[in-house]
């Protein structure tokens, strides 16, 4: 049996409760983006745009069309959303969030004080909901 066939067989057994101590949630490698898209019936190519819209602070949501006039205003936010989208464990969120907060473009008045950016708390809640639902 080829190596990949053996791995797929083990994954199927784990999913059916036939594995040797392996649990389906440890083997489950679905990313946050995949879970989010499946849960909210979003096409994968729309993931970034939908998550951006849902995770912005309310004022940023209202001013989004104006802010988008500045080239790459939401670049750091989109980078954060893409990074979070690749997570396979909700516990890895903190590392992505810290990278986002440390991003050089997040040091300005508009983003820090007026919060015209993605809300880490909102995005964390979305990640937590997606991963907790899959473990039920």
Q: For 5-23, write each residue's pLDDT tens digit.
A: 434 444 444 444 444 444 4
Residue with the larger pLDDT of the pair 24 and 107: 107
> So what's the pLDDT on residue 46?
98
Q: Which pLDDT value is given to residue 29?
A: 85
User: Residue 134 and residue 116: Cα distance in Å, rounded?
Assistant: 31
The residue length of the chain stands at 136
Q: Is 35 exposed, middle or buried (0-12, 13-18, 19+ CB in 10 A)?
A: buried
CA 23 to each of CA 34, 91, 128: distance values in angstroms, whole numbers, following the listed order: 20, 18, 20
pLDDT digit string, tens, across residues 40-49? 999 999 999 9
pLDDT at 133: 73
Q: Report whether pLDDT(27) > 70.
A: no
pLDDT of residue 6: 39
Query: What number is the average pLDDT over the span 72-78?
Result: 96
pTM, rounded to two decimals: 0.77
Per the CB < 8 A criterion, the answer to whether 122 and 61 are in contact is no
Domain boundaries along the sequence of the chain? 1-27, 31-134
pLDDT value of position 3? 43
């Amino acid at each position: 049996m080829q190596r990949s066939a053996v791995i797929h067989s083990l994954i199927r057994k784990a999913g059916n409760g036939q594995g040797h101590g392996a649990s389906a949630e440890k083997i489950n490698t679905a990313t946050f983006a995949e879970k989010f898209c499946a849960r909210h019936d979003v096409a994968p190519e729309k993931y970034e745009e939908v998550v951006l819209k849902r995770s912005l602070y309310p004022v940023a949501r209202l001013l989004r069309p104006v802010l988008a006039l500045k080239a790459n205003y939401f670049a750091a936010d989109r980078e954060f959303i893409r990074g979070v989208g690749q997570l396979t464990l909700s516990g890895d969120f903190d590392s992505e969030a810290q990278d986002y907060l440390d991003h050089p473009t997040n040091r300005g008045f508009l983003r820090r004080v007026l919060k015209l950016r993605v809300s880490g708390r909102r995005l964390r809640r979305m990640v937590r909901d997606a991963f907790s639902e899959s473990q039920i």
